[in-house]
Amino acid sequence: MAKSGSSKIPPPKGTRDLYPEDVLRQRYIIEAWRRVSIRHGFDEIAGPTFEMLELYKKKSGEGIVSELFSFKRAGGDDDYALRPEFTPTLARMYAEKANSLPSPCKWFTAGAYFRAEKPQRGRLREFLQWNCDVMGGDEQQTRLLHDLETITVIITMLVDLGLSNLNLRFRVSDRYAVARFLQESGVASEMVPEAFALLDKRAKLDAQQFAKAAAEQSLDLDIFDKLCAGGHDSVGNSLRSLAVEMDREWMEMDYSIVRGLAYYTGTVFELIADGERAVAGGGRYDNLIELFGGPPTPAVGFGMGDVVLGLLLEDKGLMPEGPELADAVSQKPASVRPEAFVIANEQGEPRIEPLLAELRRGKEREGFDGKPWDPMRYEVEPMHARRSYKSTKNIGKLLGDARKHHAKFAVIIESDEAAKIENLETREDLGMHALDKVGSVLAERL
């Protein structure tokens, strides 16, 4: 019993006390992130929850300090900061071992982050965040594929959680194109970074405030908005074409998206739910790893927080409760070992990504109308499926790549319609099968 006159100490503002049921709800989200990342061929990494303060200054300048929880150890001289995001840590880690890492290198992580900002609905000072990043890929078409891969993993996760019927849109932009539009609208080249920062705040400012700030930067809004509305840059067109080819109809080009962080270099994107909520965001940062001492390395990635996602699930009645929550958290995790490794001859190459998407997504039972966590949801369970990014079409070398990844089965696409399946452990040839039957054939043997 508390003594008379004693007072309770509240938790820090912007944090959460998580009781057993709360931890299970959070675990449900974390496990969804982890399953879908692994199935898409991302390897899990982790880093420290605090870094040298200099790491964030190097990336963002001195102004970042006011946005961080920074500190000195009692009696120490070094300045530290609780991590507000993962990208600087990732860039530091990649730069440290760049020469010994595969290309592309696909990593994911989920952990706690801290931001010294005013708490509000959907934004806290301590939160969990999911990050997926792809480093490497020198050719433009390869970079576009990696851009789309990072977007696809988010969409698959939302489908897994039952959110696919919402008004979800991926708004995709290209900062190179927007920089060109800004200069054609009167902004001096050296003022483009400031104009990006202003555009990122556009939705938060009233029209008069924004127009005044734009005029101060010599930005002609009429010209700029017309360029954005009719903009057709080569990267945007290529990304859109690739998205259509892969049946990603939910993607739309929107040049009003610029993302505020200065390290973004090309493609940027945001996932908007219900027409207003930003659930995830990210983009390409091709110069950051070099800034931290690594070699020039193209890179793209995103972050998604658990707070907004959790609210969205609760608002839509898609967060399990009671015994269903316990069952949902107890779902079988994704196989860390790849279950399928998809390769192709030259004729079958265009079918790699669609087949990967099908295997990773699984096949729902016809007429299924239950909850996302229902164990009877799938006729064919989602699988961990990978591909080779090597340019060679030599099937022997590609099979060697599959064995290097310890895959259980190789799927060799030989035409638009069929693929051969090989058990990589026993070397057994399982014959040719129609592409739409590959998942079922594999499921019978897993």
Write out pLDDT tens, residues 156-175: 999 899 987 677 778 888 89
Sequence-separated contacts (24+) of 368-371 with Cβ below 8 Å: 371/162, 371/318, 371/320, 371/324
Question: pLDDT at position 352, please?
Answer: 93
What is the C-alpha separation between 33 and 43, in angstroms, rounded? 12
Question: pLDDT at position 433, please?
Answer: 97
Question: pLDDT at position 406, please?
Answer: 96
Question: pLDDT at position 238, please?
Answer: 62
Question: pLDDT at position 193, please?
Answer: 87
Fold (CATH) for 20-332: BirA Bifunctional Protein; domain 2 (3.30.930)
Q: Mean of the pLDDT values across residues 181-205?
A: 90
Fold (CATH) for 335-446: Rossmann fold (3.40.50)
Question: pLDDT at position 201, please?
Answer: 85
Per-residue pLDDT tens for 273-330?
A: 876 678 999 999 999 999 999 999 999 999 999 999 999 999 999 999 999 999 999 9
Q: Which two tokens stand for residue 146?
A: 């990696």
Judged against a pLDDT cut of 60, whether residue 419 lies above it is answered with yes
- Give the amino acid at 87: T
Give the residue among 148, 323, 168 at the shortest CA–CA distance from 241. Answer: 148
Judged against a pLDDT cut of 80, whether residue 1 lies above it is answered with no
Instruction: Tell me, yes or no, if the two domains 20-332 and 335-446 fold the same way.
Output: no
Per-residue pLDDT tens for 38-89?
A: 999 999 999 999 999 999 988 776 767 888 999 999 989 999 999 999 999 9
What are the residue boundaries of the structural domains of the chain, listed by start?
20-332, 335-446
What is the C-alpha separation between 273 and 251, in angstroms, rounded? 13
Question: pLDDT at position 266, please?
Answer: 85
Give the residue among 280, 193, 203, 268 at the shortest CA–CA distance from 236. Answer: 268
Per-residue pLDDT tens for 121-160?
A: 888 999 999 999 999 987 777 888 898 899 889 989 998 9
Q: Mean of the pLDDT values across residues 343-365?
A: 92
Please report, rounded to a whole number, the percentage of residues in the chain having pLDDT higher than 90.
67
pLDDT band at 216 (very low <50, low <70, confident <90, very high): very high
248-257, 349-358, 392-401: least confident range: 248-257
Q: Mean of the pLDDT values across residues 384-403?
A: 92
Mean pLDDT of the chain: 90
Q: Mean of the pLDDT values across residues 353-362?
A: 94
Judged against a pLDDT cut of 70, whether residue 385 lies above it is answered with yes
Question: pLDDT at position 431, please?
Answer: 96
- Give the amino acid at 28: Y
Question: pLDDT at position 232, please?
Answer: 62
Question: pLDDT at position 164, please?
Answer: 78
Question: pLDDT at position 323, please?
Answer: 96
List Cβ neighbours of 101 (8 Å cut-off, separation of 6 or more).
94, 135
pLDDT band at 363 (very low <50, low <70, confident <90, very high): very high
pLDDT band at 331 (very low <50, low <70, confident <90, very high): very high
What is the C-alpha separation between 152 and 92, in angstroms, rounded? 26
What is the C-alpha separation between 264 and 261, in angstroms, rounded? 6
Largest distance between two CA atoms of the chain: 81
Q: Mean of the pLDDT values across residues 256-274?
A: 83
Handedness of CA 385, 166, 28, 318 (dihedral sign): negative
What is the model's pTM? 0.91
Please indicate whether residue 14 or residue 228 has the higher confidence score (pLDDT). 14
Question: pLDDT at position 248, please?
Answer: 52
